[in-house]
Structure 1
Amino acid sequence: MSTRRRRAAEHEGEEDEEDEAAVSVERVFEGREVPGWREQVTARALAVSALLGFMFSVIVMKLNLTTGIIPSLNVSAGLLGFFLLTSWTKLLEKAGVARVRPFTRQENTVVQTCVVACSGIAFSGGFGSYMFAMSDRISDQSGENWEAQNIKNPGLGWMIGFLYIVSFLGLFSVVPLRKIMIIDYKLIYPSGTATAHLINSFHTPQGAKLAKRQVKTLGKFFVTSFTWGFFQWFYTGGEGCGFMNFPTLGLQAYKQKFFFDFSMTYVGVGMICPYLVNLSVLLGGVISWGIMWPLIEHKKGDWYPADLKPSSLRGIVGYRVFISIALILGDGLYNFLKVRGMMSEPTLPVSGGGTTGADVPTPEETFDDKRRTELFLKDQIPTKLALGAYAVIAVVSIATVPRIFHQLRWYHVAVSYMIAPVLAFCNAYGCGLTDWSLATTYGKLAIFTVGAWAGAADGGIIAGLAACGVMIGIVSTASDLTQDFKTGYMTLASPRSMFVSQVIGTAMGCVIAPSVFWLFYNAFPDIGMPGSEYPSPNALVYRNMAILGVQGLGSLPRHCLDLCIAFFVFAIVINLARDLAGPKAAAYIPLPMAMAIPFYLGPYFGIDMCIGSLVRFTWDRLDPARAKAFAPPVASGLICGDGIWTLPQSVLALAGIKPPICMKFLTRSTNIKVDQFLRAAHSTH
């Protein structure tokens, strides 16, 4: 009996420890001095960042020119930065170099920020989309003959110059809002949060019992998620193959994107996002893909032509793109005006949950929040400096961008910079809720509006595509920076070091990314051609969007504009209802920004997130103490393992190694036809 009682007492003691220190990461690091921001941005960190930035830029460029789908690389950058700098310091110590500076979690965060900023230019630079779409090679594939003023071929000099002009504005546009996003709104930024958990786990001091168990838990689920990604890869040997295309709810539901795609990333995201965000995403998917799009598709031939290409903005895709933009703009504009102090004190969209998504903050969370907030507000980036820098860069850009693209007038650029801060806020806000950056969606809006404004006769196609580049450059870097601010907030990295490393990484990327593209462009003469090794499918899509854009609002499908206005007003009304209803009732009113994202992408990732929510909800009810202690490490392990797998997957693709198996799902009648065809083919041999 005494042994049993002792074990029970020990178990209760462990539970008490877990309950007390469940979410208090900073108590574990309390004895460690936080270096100043200048000591965080070290020469060795920047050297490693340049190396990793080049490597990641090659990977992103490869994906840009093949599938066009770019995964989040935050986690990979954090892990590889830790590995390289740890190896560096150990080698110097073995070589007998005296007084090697300790490698801190803040320095690790600087590397991650710099690498992501650098490789992010390979995406936002549009080398597989808007920039390449300007070329005569892509123009010839559009099937329409255009004059020389609607064509601009790639050139290393003008590409580097253009990127330097437009890539820094987004950084300065979001700096004044950093406190509101991170501290007041307590936005989750799932990838940034997961990366912070990973970095904190790497640098956990020895002797912290619970912290060591949390690190072990994170590692266990990291390996599980990585292994699952590797296992899935074997079955993706063709288009539409693999577990990610598993029709879990039936083939008819699969056609409307209702299925569980076995993504450990979004199961993990669902575990750390508040329940309201996950349910809002699913609700948006049900309203759009479950009700609206099927009804509109029944109007094919009436509201829009029946013989259009699947990607044409004149058809169902036009409704998806522009209605989702209208909903996002309505929500973003409302919240932007609140932030500017033009309305009453904002109601927090995420109710006090911090990174765990819990409904009520605990004393331990308060300790972490106080510690993190104190250091986050310590090294201020003056708002006047940010606004002044934005104004100066905008003036320079307004004067110089039209010299690179003579089709784009100075007033086109000026208007873009006037509305860009609102769109940057919208993108950073939406990314904070759901982890999705919709930079390309805002770019499509710029293509359509500026292209129609300029007109085909005055080079509207190039004007629209260039305006797309201006907009993507701003809104993409804005969401990246706020994501990194969240990581820095949770690792006690100075906002000033985050900003400086983002600026340095962006400057690196403006040279590295176009240089890597130039290597691809000259090494592969058939780049951008259908059936080639690098077909760049998105470039033709963007070219066709620009062609549609110069034809104006009249080219939109029927009633599309009416629906856009209705959903814009709907977003404002929902936000008003949330503010007027009070905090308790607002917890049951959906978030328009979260609802809008599946309007375009589909509800499948919302199903993943809701499964993560269900796991967290069940765990909270069965064992709340352990859930508080271990749910964030479990979620971060799932996100990080899946994120790291994209690195070897990309290397395999670069090496030309393809999966050996294609697992596809067919209807019974289609399967019978396939069997008959195979038998017939076999008999002929």
Structure 2
Amino acid sequence: MASSLLIPCRDDTMPSTAPEDTDKPREFTLQAVVIGLLIGCLLCFANLSFGLQTGWISMMSLQSALIAFLVSRLLPTPMTAQEIIVVQTTAVATGTMPLAAGFVGILPALKILDEARDGSPPVTLSWIAAIGWSCSIAFFGVFLSPPLRKQVIVKEQLAFPSGTATAQLIAVLHKMPPPDTTVRRRVGFVALEEDETEHHQEDEQVDDTLAPDNVQSEGWHALSSSFAASGVLTLFAYFFPAIFSIPLFGPYLAREWLWTFTPSLAYVGQGIIMGFPTTLSMALGMVLGWGILSPIAKLSGWAPGPVGDMTNGARGWILWTSLAIMCADSFVSLLPVLGEYVVDLLPRRQAAVQIKEDYDSETEDRLVPNNWVIGGVLVSVILGSFLVWVVFGDDGIKPWATFLAFVLGGLLSVLGVRALGETDINPVSGLGKISQLFFAWIQPGNIVANIIAGGVAEAGAQQAGDLMQDLKTGHLIGASPRAQFFGQLLGSAVSIFVTASAYTLYNRAYVIPGPSFPAPTAYVWLSLARLLRDGELPQNSTIFMIAFAAFFALVSGLKTYTTQRQLWWAKWIPSGIAFAIGFLNTPSFTIARLIGGVVEQVYRTRYAKNKSDIRLIVIASGFVLGEGVVSVVSLMLKTSGVGVASCWGCVPGLCGGCP
């Protein structure tokens, strides 16, 4: 059974004057907002850099809460658990804007348009245009959050595993009673119920490990040391690029087949955060894509260009197989979510859960009023449609088409949020492709409109999903949804300017997409738009696309089935999305992440004191933030004309900054 909250009795004959009986805990405070924005800006820099390199960003929700707690212990008045929730919510809203606004995919895709082939010249946004585009899509998902919260968190009580794990950590750090993480019994799903005795035994084990004083002393040392190590290595690699381009298997494989190794501590940290099963899926995709399919395509003459060429090289050829895998995996994983949604609409099912659906522990003054939601959605859609038209003009996408993209984005957000709540995976890539398919029919032949519409739909689904994890954490801890809502709005508003400014600087300093920042997801967006426009596929790629799509449809179905029934081996079934990412990224990034995944597995199984041991997560967070922050320093050096110190040891064409 789930643990219950025990409230001590009070003598009603005594006057109730104690502050702890009458005062509400601090929540939306200036210090919480400022710290949340600072952490979020660090995450934003890191995610923009890593997203342009690999197409993968980290939400870093749990890590934001950990860093906030460490900072809190240095303040004269430590922050409450509810303030930590506001910090975390604000940080996530700020840090995920590079993906939500398409800076790692949509905008680079528009930059590489070919007028002769695509019917439209390349579109490069100025700083002010990037601000306008970001404003058009930054708040739509935020205003979708309150009604979706009521549906999936309060009524349906979906698990949201990452949000629940963060809530459990915050509860332990603040010595609060463990949150009730029981979820409702759904058709085909097993209830997540905890054994009370086992839970109390686990609490006794983590008290020493996660005591606030221990976390403060050990946490700051681990975070600062890992941050410094990653930052120093990143800065050193800027001046000596060969450090991040090691020909692990010899110069021939590095030069001709792109098999190099980037010993980036940030990618090792990301691998630790992802976990061994996910990084193993990526590594399997790397071996198949770059070790088997790439040589087949090259040696058979199907991809005659250089291996790394995305137009007529092997990398562009295996991209299509990757795209097929992602579409199949996303489609199959959404089917049970869609089926469950339809079942919930049946009158008999609604009556069965009516008692739970009508319950919300929050009072009206802590909820977001419905008129705010309705007004916010209308304003964000109307203003967003207008801003997109101003930025891209009639040749880009018509205002009525943008309006439809917002409507479709709202519908897809429901599916994305539900999938995230059930599986901890938000299939935004698949949802964006659904929008592209729809707009290939609405505005046929217009590649710019196709990409923009897909980006609008993806932004709503991604932002609503990520913010829902934080709302789940707040729901379990007892934080005000209204305070979190304000944090989301502020984080998104500030991130518009931070992300647009950083992206503009990157464009001035580097060729994007280019050797240093290949922006692999840009080619995914553009390739699908081109396929929908002219139907042309690379030579002999069709049979591989069909075969791998069919295989991973079965794999995804099996993974979904076993996950729903909580079978222990479900996590070892390959993830189709992670497998496909192994195709998109060159081996250099994937190898580093695999090392991180192996470290996580070994530490967790052999050295971790218990399931709540967070030392490795703190170190991984420092690795990620260290390189993300110092990458901004490297960007400034590049913009200022400070070049590399030596290209000694570089493999030609594979070292950023070297000819």
What TM-score results when the alignment is normalised by the length of structure 1? 0.63
Quote the residue 1:169 is aligned against.
140
Does the residue aligned with 1:154 lie in a helix, a strand or coil? coil
Structure 1, 57-66 or 218-227: larger mean CA deviation: 57-66
Match of 1:555 in 2: 537
- CA distance in 1 between counterparts of 2:104 and 2:165 reads 29
User: Is 1:635 matched up with 2:616?
Assistant: yes
Please list the CA deviations of residues 58-107 of structure 1 after superposition, one character each: whole Å capped at 9, or x if unmatched.
777677889987666657866786788888x75xxxxxxxxxx8643422
Report SS of the residue matched to 2:141.
helix
Report the equivalent of 2:191.
none
State the match for 2:657 in structure 1: none
CA RMSD of aligned residues (A): 5.8
8 Å Cα contact 1:408-1:462 kept in structure 2: yes
Equivalent of 1:578, from 541, 544, 562?
A: 562
Which consecutive residues of structure 1, in runs of 5 or more, have no partner in the other structure?
A: 1-23, 91-100, 345-372, 621-625, 671-685
1:451 and 1:159, CA in 2 relative to 1: closer, same or farther beyond 3 A?
farther
What do the CA deviations read for 1:516-561 (whole angstroms, capped 9, x no partner)?
767x59xx9x667589999896798579547734534433632255
State percent identity of aligned pairs: 15
Task: Give the TM-score, by structure 2 length.
Answer: 0.65
Corresponding residue of 1:408 = 397
Whether 1:188 and 2:162 are equivalent positions in the alignment is yes
Provide the secondary structure at the position in 1 that maps to 2:304: coil
- The amino acid that maps onto 2:310 is S
Q: What whole-Å deviation, never above 9, does each CA across 1:305-356 have from its counterpart, x for those lacking one?
A: 4337633485111111331232133113323433554599xxxxxxxxxxxx
Q: Shift in Å at residue 454 of structure 1?
A: 3.0
Q: Tell me which of 554, 573, 577 is aligned to 1:596.
A: 577
**Contact 1:65–1:528 under 8 Å retained in 2:** no
In structure 2, what is the Cα distance between the partners aligned to 1:517 and 1:260? Answer: 25
Unaligned runs of 5+ in 2: 7-17, 177-206, 347-358, 584-589, 653-659
Shift in alpha-carbon separation, 1:251–1:542, aligned structure 2, 3 A: same
* Change over 3 Å in CA distance of 1:619–1:453 after alignment to 2: same
Distance in 2 (alpha carbons) for counterparts of 1:155 and 1:86 = 42
- Kindly provide the CA deviation profile for residues 350-403 of structure 1, in whole angstroms up to 9, marking residues without a partner as x: xxxxxxxxxxxxxxxxxxxxxxx9989999858988996797468647964774
Q: Deviation digits for residues 627-672 of structure 1, max 9, x if unmatched?
A: 24xx522233223222331354234314417786889799xxx9xx
Give the number of aligned pairs. 572
What is the one-letter code of the residue matched to 2:449? A
The answer as to whether partners of 2:89 and 2:484 remain within 8 angstroms in 1 is yes
Asked if the contact 1:420/1:475 (under 8 Å) is kept, the reply is yes
Task: Give, as a single letter, the amino acid of the residue that structure 2 aligns with 1:337.
Answer: G
Aligned partner of 1:587 in structure 2 is 568
CA change 1:289–1:76 in 2 (3 A) is closer
* Post-superposition offset of 1:461: 2.5
| Aligned-partner Cα distance in 1 for 2:553–2:470 | 32
Corresponding position: 1:653 with 2:634:
yes
In 2, Cα distance between the equivalents of 1:596 and 1:34? 49
Q: Which residue of 2 aligns with 1:233?
A: 234
Letter of the 2:558 counterpart: I
> Quick check: 2:332–2:553 contact (8 Å CA) kept in 1?
yes
Partner of 1:614: 602
Q: Residue in 2 aligned with 1:358?
A: none
Q: What corresponds to 1:330 in structure 2?
A: 332
8 A contact 1:247–1:259 mirrored in 2? no
User: How far apart, in 1, do the equivalents of 2:49 and 2:291 lie?
Assistant: 35
Equivalent residue runs for 1:264-663 within 5 Å: 264-266=268-270, 268-269=272-273, 278-279=276-277, 282-283=280-281, 285-286=283-284, 288-291=285-288, 294-297=291-294, 298-300=296-298, 304-307=302-305, 310-312=309-311, 315-338=317-340, 341=343, 392=378, 396=382, 400=386, 403-404=389-390, 405=392, 406=394, 407-409=396-398, 410=400, 414=404, 417-418=407-408, 421-422=411-412, 425-426=415-416, 429=419, 439=428, 443=432, 446=435, 450=439, 454-456=443-445, 460-485=446-471, 488=474, 492-510=478-496, 513-514=499-500, 520=505, 541=523, 545=527, 548-549=530-531, 551-555=533-537, 557-559=541-543, 561-563=545-547, 565-567=549-551, 569-571=553-555, 573-575=557-559, 577-578=561-562, 583=565, 586-590=567-571, 594-601=575-582, 604=591, 605-606=593-594, 608-619=596-607, 626-628=609-611, 631-656=612-637
Q: 1:52, 1:532 → 2: CA distance?
A: 29
Which residue is 2:28 aligned to?
A: 41
Alignment CA distance shift 1:260-1:570 (3 Å)? farther
Instruction: Kindly indicate whether the alpha-carbon contact (under 8 Å) linking 2:413 and 2:465 is maintained by their aligned counterparts in 1.
Output: no
In the alignment, what sits opposite 1:678? none
Task: Report Cα offsets for 1:172-202 as digits up to 9, x if no partner.
Answer: 265356539996435136xx95798589759
Displacement after TM superposition at 1:472 (Å): 3.4
Aligned AA for 1:613?
Q
Q: Which sits farther off after the overlay, 502-511 or 655-664?
A: 655-664
Deviates more, 1:309-318 or 1:250-259: 250-259
Separation of aligned partners in 1, 2:502 and 2:232? 31
Letter in 1 for 2:161: L
- Structure-1 separation of matches of 2:414 and 2:260: 28
Deviates more, 1:530-539 or 1:295-304: 530-539
What is the CA-CA distance between 1:239 and the residue it aligns to? Answer: 9.2
Query: Amino acid of the residue matched to residue 234 of structure 2?
Result: W
1:106 counterpart = 2:96: no
Shift of 1:40: 1.1
